[in-house]
Amino acid sequence: MAERELPPPAKLRKLSVVVPVFNERNTLVEVVRRMRSVELPDGVDREIIVVDDGSTDGTRDVLRQLGDSTVRVVLHPDNRGKGAALRTGFEHATGEYVLVQDADLEYDPQDWPRLVNPVLQGKARVVYGSRFTGERRNMLFLHWVGNRFLSLVTNVLYNTTLSDMETCYKLIERSLIPRLGLRAERFDIEPEITAKLLKLGVRIYEVPISYTGREFDEGKKITWKDGFAALWTLVKYRFRD
């Protein structure tokens, strides 16, 4: 279905921010503080949905003190993966647009206005924040190669020109999400979202964001095995109805 056949983009009145969390006790308070402090454009409210995916490091003790009228906490009894946490968060979202925010401080909520502006200007219904066009803490070479390779595969398979398919910062019109039929449980949710948006005919708008990537000794969780899963996901959905 081409984008021109979709209904007009929804007006942004409320931004739902979905935060998947697994064992992020050390960064959670700070990321929530930053999310609360973001100045959104006039007329745009926010709701923050934190989905704890079976944390075992004391994260839940922290969450008990963070929930309020703007921060809703949803708990998974067991660890199921980032994809499962995002799907749960999407189900609880009530805003016209949904934004994914990781809890590890790699992505700065002060970049939210950059993502929101193309929507407010009527330029896009899906906006990605690209780590490769803004200021950033340099990644390890193999991480850089893996990310660029997966973006290249996406571009070849889906006839697009994305610079950062694997970015966390995905701002999506909420009405599109049920049409994607998301199934991923783990990190393959990133390529699944992108592949299905592109197959739906939605053109993705990119904006530069800042990025401060962690390494494994700092708590980074994605591994090379997830890269192979992402590659398979891109190929699978390209040729599946």
Number of structural domains the chain divides into: 1
Calculate the alpha carbon distances from 209 to 10, 117, 133, 148, 185 in Å: 24, 13, 7, 16, 26
Residue 124 located in a structural domain: yes
DSSP state of 76: E
Tens digit of pLDDT per residue, the chain (241 long)?
455 467 788 899 999 999 999 999 999 999 999 999 999 999 999 999 999 999 999 999 999 888 787 899 999 999 999 999 999 999 999 999 999 999 999 999 999 999 999 999 999 999 999 998 866 666 665 676 878 899 999 999 999 999 999 999 999 999 999 999 999 999 999 999 999 999 999 999 999 999 987 554 444 556 657 778 999 999 999 988 6
* Distance set, CA 16 to CA 25, 106, 179 (Å): 22, 19, 18
Question: In 93-178, at which residue ranges do the beta strands (DSSP E only) sit?
Answer: 97-100, 126-130, 136-137, 170-173
CA distance 57 to 187: 21
- For residue 155, the enclosing domain spans 10-238
Let me know: does 153 contact 229? Beta carbons within 8 Å.
no
Q: Which of 230, 185, 234, 233 is nearest to 22 (CA)?
A: 185
Question: Is residue 41 included in any domain, yes or no?
Answer: yes
Q: For 100, list phi and psi in degrees, rounded to 5.
A: -90, 130
Residue 19 is assigned to a structural domain of this protein: yes
CATH number at residue 108: 3.90.550.10
Query: Does residue 50 fall inside a structural domain?
Result: yes
Global pTM value = 0.89
